[in-house]
Every structure is written in C-alpha cells, then in structure tokens.
Structure 1
Amino acid sequence: MRRSFAFKTTVLVMGWVLAAIACAQIPAYTFWPAIFGALTLPVALALNLLLVGYWLLRRWPVALLPLAVAVLTWPHFQRGLALHPFKLSNAPVPANGPVVKVLSANVRIFNVYPQLRNEGLQSSKAMVKWLQDTPADILCLQEFYNEPAGTRTQDGTVFRTVDKIGREAGREAFLSKTLTNSAGAEFGMAIFSRFPIVHRGTINFGKLTQNHAMWADVRLPSHDTIRIYSFHLQSMSMDEKDIVDSYSSKAGLRQKGAGLLRRFKRGAIARHWQVDTLVKRFNRCRYPILLCADLNDVPYSYSYDQLADNFQNAWATVGNGVGSTYNGRLPFVRIDNQFAGSRFSVEDFQVHYEIPYSDHFPTTATYQLRPPGAKR
C-alpha cells in the first residue's frame, strides 16, 4: 500500500511539474490565475527530485520516471537555483572575439527623496562614485536621476550624474527622460558606453513613464555593432510591509490579502503585455542583442519565460545559487536580470551585494561576441 501511494504521488508530482511549466507560458491578460500555477513550479521541481532519491532507495526502475522529468526540466530548475560548481569566476576570457562587460542597476533615483536620504547624502555619493569608477564598458541604469547644470538645487553637484558617470568617466551618455520637474531635474533611464553609440531610441508602453524600454546600438573596437536594450517593466505597486504582514498572521492576510491580489493581478497583466511588445521588437533586430532588465517578476513567470525562450539568462548560464537581487525583507527574490543572444558566450556574472545603496543590488556580466555561425 505504501508503494502504491508513493507511486500515485510520484505521478501526481510529475503532472504538477508539467502543468506549472504550462502555466508559465500563459500570459495574465489571457488567464490571470495561471500566474499562481507557475509560482508553484519550484516546489514541484524540488519534490520531483526528492522522489528520485526515494525510488532509488526503494525500487530503482521506478526512479527512471521522475529522473526523466528532472532531466527534461533541468533548465527550469536552473532558473531558480543555478548550479555550476566548476565555473571559475573572474577567470581570464580567451581571446576568441571582442569582450564586453555590462553593468545593470536600478539606482532608485540615487536616494534623492527625503525619506531615502541619509546624513550628508553619503549613500548617494557612494553610489555615484562606484558607478563612475566601475570598469564596466556599458552601464544600464533604471530609475535614473540627473540634475543638469542650471538645476535649482541646494545639493551642489552631488546629482550631476550624467556628467560624472558619463563624460568624466570617459563614457558616452544616452538619457531617456520621462519627466523633468519644475526645478529642472531629470528622471528616467540611462545607458552609458565607453564605445560609440551609433543609434538610439526608446520604446514606450502607451504613455511614456518610468516603466519603458530604451536601446542603443554600440560600435565595438572590432567594428562589430551590438544592440543593448534596457527596460523596466511594470511594478506590482505592493508595499513590502503589506506583503510581510499578509503572510505573518491570519489577521494580516484578511486585512491586506484582497488589495495585494488586485495589485498583483494588474501588475502581471501589464508586465506580460509589455514583455510581448518587447519580444516582437527583439525579433526584428539585425544585431547581436544584450538585455538588461528590472523585470519586477521572478524566474517562474511568463515575463521571464518569454525572454528565457529566446535568450540566455546570464545568471542561469554561469551562476551558482539563487542570485537574489532584491535588497529588502523578502528573501531569495531575483527580479533584475541580464540576457544575451545566441552570438554571445556568457563568461561571468556577479551580483554586487557589497553595494547596498538601493533596494536592488547591481549586477555585472562579461560577454564574448562569437563570429557569425560559431557554435556554442
């Protein structure tokens, strides 16, 4: 009876894995409850691996069933928990093609708002200085803030960020502005490059807001042109404290649950439409592509799935562990990602936990551009 129950459980778990994978391919604007099916995938994958071990000890031929599922779904496992124990970080990159180092970060407007500031604007100064000094060739910064010359401010040159991270650091700057306030300060996103930017543009999702995309065509010293996309998808507009309260107690769930669910649903519908819009643009691009994104979505989601189906995720390709990028009370959350097209090999990827000045940790990746037709 125990074996019969265990076998039925195994079949159910295998079906659960496949159903959850299917849910991750359904956009929320088509059937929004599928979001929650996709979110259960890590649990289903973990249970399937446990069942492999169980049957290897009990009756090894049966273990072949969950083992086959584990092998076939291993790329999905790697999305949430990357395992590359023999990958040497910072190892020298063989000289088989041009190498590009890319940094992506949501800088949270450099903490300019009163509730984000600390004494002497130390976090703002440290963040700008670190970005100014980073050896990365290309920087993609979301939630960017700049005070150009002439801005009416009492902060001096602390937030003269385009000049400091751009010209003073030997980089060309492309600022995609979504708002200029009454004092003359600029909000939006930015791309900085040590290589020439030969073309540039923005992609808005209806009205131009901080949730939009920008792109730049960059000419490498090898005379190859690559395209960098940076984008910031719709946030959930969910307060971290409300989320923590909702799962900390029954009273918190009753009080916060319905409102969180509505916001979660609206955010997911917007993100899934936005990512579909972007994928269509990516498919029309004739250059090798690199993507930097604040997805505001986890690896087990439609947004991530659409990108992972067409591009290599840098962390899943060379990283080890969860690779969480959210700097807050919610653990193991990776919402900031870099992706690379098939012409690139991913050589290294790092999450900079030593840079805690925003609610997102910066990420850097090293890519090598292979010749056309070269095999991975």
Structure 2
Amino acid sequence: MSEQKKKRLRLVSRVIFFINSVFAALLLLSYVLPYAVPKSFPILSVLSLLVPVFIMINFIFMLFWILNVRKQFLLSFVVLILGYSHVTSMYKFSGTLTEPTENSLSLMSYNVRLFNIYDWIQEAQIDQKIVDLIKENSPDIIALQEFHPNQQEAFDFYPYQHVVLRGKKKKAGQAIFSKFPILHKGSIEFPNTSNNAIYIDIVRHTDTIRVYNLHLQSLHINPKKEEFSQKNSERLLKRMATAFKMQQTQAELFEMNRKNCPHKKIILGDFNNTQFSNVYKTIKGNMKDAFVEAGKGFGSTLDFPYFPMRIDFILTDASFSVNSFKTFSQHYSDHFAIKSIISLD
C-alpha cells in the first residue's frame, strides 16, 4: 500500500473517530438528562427523546472498530457500560417469567386514540377490534387513555368502572375498568389541558391497592405528517419544550396525590415521554418498571418510524413481583397495548 493511501486511510479513521467522539459525548450527556428539570432546561428535555438513537449509534461505532480490530472501540464500549441501566431499559434480551401466585393481578394499559373515531387507521371496525383484544386477554384491571364515551357500553363485561371525561365538550378522557369492587375513586385535574390522571382503590385479599391511570401532556407530533425542515425546527422545539414544562407540572401534581396515599400503588399510563426523562424519573421514584423487570426486545409502545419509543408504562411498588410483561403488536392505535401480571410478595 502506498504511503499516500495510508495517509488517506488515517485521515478517514480520524474523521470517523471524531464523529464517534461526538456521539459518545452526547450519550454521556444523556445520562444526566433525568436530572435536568424541564422548566429550567427545556431543550435538554427535548434531547432525551434522542437517547435511543445515541445508544444505537454508539453500538454501531463499537462494532465498526471491533471488526476493524482497532482499539478505538473502547470509547463507545466504556460509554455504553457506564450507562448500562440506560441500555437495559431500552432493550431486554429475554423476558423474565415467573409463575403467578394466588395474589396475582393482571394489568393492561392502552392509549386507544378515541377508538379510531376519525379513521386515522384505514381499516374497518378498529373500535371492535380493540374491545375484542381486551376481551381476549381479560386483564383484571385495564387503564385506557384517550377514551371515547361512545364505547363505554362495550365494556359492560367489567362490573366496576371509573370514567372521567375532559375538554370543553367532554368528548374524551381516561377510563379504568376493574373486576374488583372499587372502594374509592378520584381524579387529579391538570390545568389548561384535557389531560389528567384518575385512580381507583381496590381490595385484593387483605391489601388495599391504589391504581392510577396517568395521561401526561402530549407533544402533538405526528411523525408521518410533521415537516421536519429547518424552517419549522425552531417552532417544533418550542412546542415540545412547552409540552415538557407542562408534563413537569403535571408530574408534580400527581406526586402530591401519591404522597398522601397510604396504600400500595400501581401506575398505568401514557407518559408521553421516555424512560430517559426527568418526568419518568420523578414518577417512577423507587417503583419497579414492569418492562425492565420482565420485558423483552425494545418494548416500543409508540408507532414511530425508524427508532423505538417507549412512552407507555406499568409501574408497581417494590412490594410487588413482576411475573410477566408483554407489548402487543396489533396496530389499532398510534400506541401499542401493554400487559403485565404481578404478584404481591
């Protein structure tokens, strides 16, 4: 090989390593994003949505250097190891399955997008298919976000219900359906939005359990229609930053209710934010994430092209064991349903 060609290869290698270093630095920065409060650092909060991209790019760089037998692989390798919890919360190689006990509860959460009432999905009887999916899986408790009241009678196979509608004409809201009697129920109102959180208290054997259905502020981004041009990027970032600030306020209002609740707790819902965000960190606290405990694969819950977005969650108090977790593949909404079976330890 000529000396000139060697120089070119060294130059190309340096350029690639420089790009690698930029994405390694961005991934390192992402490790502190959960501590960045959206009201103070709104742009950093927007950056949290790109963490899956940073992880995957660093993984690709690591493989590239390994295949070329170059020590530069250590950069991305070390950064990925430092963020091991980030990596494992994005992708699980195998789900942990344990046998349910007599104290087990099956839970399901699903943003049903108004049961496709405006025909976003060009497929017949989407509303009935959603109901059939839930009937087939028959969870003990299901939380539905973006619920439309025209489907309430379709859920009469659940004897206990809590539905709260919001908005000027009260056309949509959240719903919880339960096979167990509801001792108490309520709603946490969020200002200047139709989003909210609702909850029920049930008794399972000798334990009182509070089940929340949480729907935080939407970013209102349609990846299939949004024009991601330079012209619109500033406006889009401002819109997202505003939504993240609202999510923080909503998480704080939710936290006030949770702190005053003496019972064991389960949180179901659509956070409209990822597991890498401050909002998720605030809500999760020391609770268990059912996907992290027993999930498999990427666990993506949003129909977002090109990379996975997990924004729907099932969280439980540490006193619960997570027996199984499933992300459904049926495309009846812009979200995918999730289900978990848990047991009291």
The TM-score range, normalised by the shorter chain, is 0.7 to 0.9
Q: 1:9 to 1:359 in 2, by over 3 A?
A: closer
Is residue 82 from structure 1 mapped to residue 92 from structure 2 by the alignment?
yes
Report the residue type matching 1:22 in the other structure. Answer: V
Q: SS of 1:27's equivalent?
A: coil
Distance 1:32 1:255 in 2: 20
Distance 2:241 2:17 in 1: 36
Query: Aligned-pair distance for 1:334?
Result: 1.8
> Matches of residues 4-43 of structure 1 in structure 2 within 5 Å?
16-42=26-52
Query: Aligned-pair distance for 1:28?
Result: 1.7
Is residue 369 from structure 1 mapped to residue 344 from structure 2 by the alignment?
yes
Q: SS of 1:338's equivalent?
A: strand
> Matches of residues 316-331 of structure 1 in structure 2 within 5 Å?
316-327=292-303, 329=305, 331=307
* Contact 1:297/1:304 (<8 A) preserved: yes
Distance 2:24 2:299 in 1: 26
* Contact 2:144/2:176 (<8 A) preserved: yes
Q: SS of 2:41's equivalent?
A: coil
Is residue 173 from structure 1 mapped to residue 164 from structure 2 by the alignment?
no
Distance 1:309 1:67 in 2: 28
Normalised TM-score (structure 2): 0.82
Q: SS of 1:241's equivalent?
A: coil
> Identity percentage over the alignment?
26
* Contact 1:52/1:67 (<8 A) preserved: no
Report the residue type matching 1:197 in the other structure. Answer: I
Distance 2:344 2:130 in 1: 29
Report the residue type matching 2:31 in the other structure. Answer: I
Q: Which residue number in structure 1 is paired with residue 3 of structure 2?
A: none
* Contact 1:345/1:368 (<8 A) preserved: yes
Query: Aligned-pair distance for 1:176?
Result: 1.1
> Matches of residues 1-376 of structure 1 in structure 2 within 5 Å?
16-42=26-52, 44-45=54-55, 70-84=80-94, 87-88=96-97, 92-93=99-100, 95=101, 98-113=103-118, 115-116=119-120, 122-147=125-150, 159=151, 161=152, 163-165=153-155, 168-179=156-167, 181=169, 186-207=171-192, 209-220=193-204, 222-243=205-226, 245-246=227-228, 253-327=229-303, 329=305, 331-354=307-330, 356-370=331-345
Report the residue type matching 2:191 in the other structure. Answer: G
Query: Aligned-pair distance for 1:273?
Result: 2.1
Distance 2:85 2:272 in 1: 21
Q: 1:32 to 1:132 in 2, by over 3 A?
A: same
Distance 2:64 2:307 in 1: 27
- When structure 1 is superposed on structure 2, of 311-320 and 138-147 the one drifting more is 311-320
* Contact 1:24/1:37 (<8 A) preserved: no
* Contact 2:33/2:276 (<8 A) preserved: no
* Contact 2:147/2:172 (<8 A) preserved: yes
Name the count of aligned residue pairs. 332
Q: Which runs of 5+ in 1 are unaligned?
A: 148-158, 247-252, 371-376
Query: Aligned-pair distance for 1:262?
Result: 2.0
Distance 2:216 2:301 in 1: 15
